[in-house]
A and B are shown apart, each in its own frame.
Chain A
Amino acid sequence: MMVDDALRLEAHPAAAVSSSEAPLLEARGVTIQYAGNVAIKGVSVVAIERSITAIIGPSGCGKSTLLRAFNRMNDFTVDAQLSGQIMYRGVDIYHPHIDPVEVRRRIGMVFQKPNPFPKSIYRNVAWGPVINGFKGDVQELVQSSLEKAALWDEVKDRLNESALALSGGQQQRLCIARALALQPEVILMDEPASALDPVSTARIEDLLFELKERYTIVIVTHNMQQAARVSDFTAFLDSGRLIEFGETDQVFTRPKEKRTEDYVSGRFG
Chain B
Amino acid sequence: MNMVLESTANLARRRLKARLFHLSCMALTWLCLVMLAVLLIHATRQGLPWLDVQFLRDFPSRFPERAGIKSALYGTLWLISLTAAFSIPIGVAAAIYLEEYAKRSRVNSLIEISLANLAGVPSIVYGILGLTIFVRWLGLGRSVMAGAMTMSLLILPIIIIASREALRAVPDSIRQAASALGATQWQTIRHHVIPSALPGILTGTILALSRAIGETAPLIMIGALTYVAFVPKGPMDAFTALPIQIFNWVSRPQQEFHELAAAGIVVLLAVLLLMNAAAVIIRHRSQRNRL
Contact = CB atoms under 8 A, between A and B. Distances in A.
Is there any pair of Cβ atoms, one from A and one from B, under 8 angstroms apart in the complex? yes
Interface of A: 71, 73, 76, 78, 101-102, 104-105, 108-109, 111, 113, 115-118, 127-128, 131-132, 175, 178-179, 182
A54 to B, nearest CB: 20
B180 A179 contact: yes
A101 B184 contact: yes
Interface in B171-185: 171, 173-184
Interface in B131-160: none
A117 B174 contact: yes
B182 A127 contact: no
Contact of B179 (A102, A104, A118, A132): A104
A118 B196 CA distance: 8
A93 B178 CA distance: 19
Contacts of A108: 180-181
A111 B173 contact: yes
Contacts of B171: 115
Interface of B: 103, 171, 173-184, 187, 191-192, 196, 290
21 contacts: A71-B180, A73-B176, A76-B176, A101-B184, A104-B182, A105-B182, A108-B180, A111-B173, A113-B173, A115-B171, A115-B173, A117-B174, A117-B178, A118-B196, A118-B290, A127-B181, A127-B191, A131-B183, A132-B181, A179-B180, A182-B182
B177 A175 contact: yes
B180 A109 contact: yes
A102 B192 CA distance: 20
Nearest to A105: B182
Nearest to A118: B196
A178 B181 CA distance: 8
B182 A128 contact: yes
Contacts of A118: 174, 196, 290
Contacts of B176: 73, 76, 111, 115
Contacts of B196: 118
B76 to A, nearest CB: 37
B182 A111 contact: no
A175 to B, nearest CB: 7
Contacts of A76: 175-176, 179
Contact of B182 (A78, A102, A113, A175): A102
Contacts of A113: 173
A128 B103 CA distance: 27
A78 B176 CA distance: 14
B181 A128 contact: yes
B188 to A, nearest CB: 9
A104 B187 contact: no
A232 to B, nearest CB: 24
B182 A132 contact: yes
B192 A101 contact: no
B59 to A, nearest CB: 50
Contacts of B174: 115, 117-118
A113 B176 CA distance: 12
A128 B179 contact: no
Contacts of B180: 71, 73, 104, 108-109, 111, 179
